[in-house]
Amino acid sequence: MPTFSIGDTDFLIDGSPYRVLSGALHYFRVHPDQWSDRIRKARLMGLNTIETYVPWNEHSPTRGEFRTAGQLDLARFLDLVHAEGMHAIVRPGPYICAEWHDGGLPSWLIADESIVLRSHDAAYLDAISEYLDAVYAIVRPRQIQLDGPVILVQIENEYGAYGADQDYLRRLTELTREHGIEVPLTTVDQPLEQMLERGSLDELHRTGSFGSRVGERLATLRSHQPTGPLMCSEFWCGWFDSWGEIHHTTSAEDAAHELDELLAAGASVNVYMFHGGTNFAFTNGANDKGTYRAIATSYDYDAPLAEDGTPTEKFWRFREVIAKYAPVPDEVPAERADAPELDVLLDRSASLWSIPIVASQRFDHLPVAAEFGSTRGFACYSTRVEHGGLLAFGEVRDRAQVYLDGALVGTLDRELHERMLPLPEDAMGELTVLVENLGGVNYGPRLGEAKGLIAPATLDGVPLTEWSAGAILLDDLAPVRAVLEAAPVAEPAEGGPLPLSGPVFASGTFTLDEPADLQLRLPGWTKGVVWVNGVNLGRYWSRGPQRTLYVPAPVVHAGANELLVFETVGAASAVAGFVARPELGPTEA
């Protein structure tokens, strides 16, 4: 059987030098029926390896389970990498960052305030051991020495930017070896002296994460990794988008130049991202460096392979560079074809308040969302007020729409640091607050913070302590569909389809001759979530930058298809449309 090891200057396969030319491709951000296509296109760019994180929170939403169906079938993904004749790098975290909800840490873990995250805390390590049992049961038999694709496994992730607990890293390493992982183990940090020193152990192979100033970064890395191959295991060739910002792009020419310099120095590389994919449903993360910024639904990343799986200019420039250092296949992927264009009338609608999907509980205090089991998406709080005045919360995480007897009073937006709202002087009645968790912080000290409304809650300085609160249950759409099917079909007015006032669910159907990738556009809509045939495509927001949502071809079928939208604010017209090309937003403010 083949062997993979680290030599004095190179990675070695069966004792011969081997350069790792890898690309990041997260199986959990791509429809499983499209995995083979994306993997193959990585090989066509000249790559020989696929790298992926493993998201603990997706696999284990409750303690003791490890889901592997559909989009979480890591074994199938690795087998497809192998079938394409490529190697694999697995990065199981347990923390992954990745602009992913809570950095990949499960909600049940972070809700336990007694646990010290990312440390040698015994309770934390017990939970990690259970997780690694399941992950490595998949990875272990797929290592290269067992004729599988896996050649490297990473310990933790950019730990030097977070902590310096060497006992923690040592125990993670021990757990990994105890679970039968024999391939070389790596760490990654930005090539800064303190991060490289704190984030690894001498028995682990240090790698760097950067996208520019290659010579300088490799020199810094070499000073902390004096032997073995140099590797940039996150070569940042693009960037992620956040709501309310521009669509980030980088020059294909500049990125190719940096890649050329990296390869000319003899280094190995992992292109981050080769193909970004999509933050489906409520999986996106957020950053908070003084101002909270939620990550957008598209994770296109301005990568060589676009969100819809088509090659970009960066793909071709990278392919040219790689061809200088390694064989590149003659076969090339097809260019993007226009997606089908059509309009959809959403002719049935129902108010959120008319649908029994709020699982309310009573509390004698203002609870955080985890107390009533709300870990993602939306929650609803309500209490009774007897007069008006200044309504205030300790903090809003992350966006709250405040209603008095069903009428919207105002909105509190965490990004704007809003937490107070005046109620009318004659206010009396049911105060209801629709709260959206816009994504768990994935990087830095606010990792694992509580969500929902944060105490204290006061009205003119007097505490509000009697609350009903619960998650809005959106995993099962049957109650929503039942109410919509009983709703009358809306007849378009003389001036066109009627507007919608949120929070409201609306549905319609559209017909296709055959399955195809689609680009959904919601002009005149404000903010909400979209499902096609029951698949949650993620959030849309008029704040931008992105204007379209990607609909993977495997989600739709020939004939009639269902489009269901939850609009939280309002839509000028109950019409959506599919357009020919993705629109990810302006690249300049």
Positions marked active-site = 158, 234
CA distance 492 to 475: 31
Q: For the chain, how far is it from start to end, CA to CA, in angstroms?
A: 55
CA distance 283 to 57: 10
Characterize the bridge pairing of strands 500-501 and 559-567.
unpaired
Which residues neighbour 6 within 8 Å (Cβ) at sequence distance 6 or greater? 12, 184, 205, 228, 229
Which residues neighbour 243 within 8 Å (Cβ) at sequence distance 6 or greater? 293, 294, 295, 296, 438, 541, 543, 544, 545
353 DSSP 8-state letter: G
Q: Which of 470, 477, 371, 478 is nearest to 108 (CA)?
A: 371
Q: Cβ distance 71 to 409 under 8 Å?
A: no
Q: Which of 466, 440, 445 is nearest to 374 (CA)?
A: 440
> What kind and span of H or E run contains 432?
strand 429-437
Q: What region, left, alpha or beta, does residue 358 occupy, with left being phi > 0 and alpha being psi -120 to 50 degrees?
A: beta
Which residues neighbour 10 within 8 Å (Cβ) at sequence distance 6 or greater? 17, 18, 19, 228, 229
β-partners of residue 550 are 519
Residue with tokens 């449309």, as numbered in its chain: 577
The length of the chain is 589
Type of residue numbered 244: G
Residue 529, helix vs strand vs coil: strand
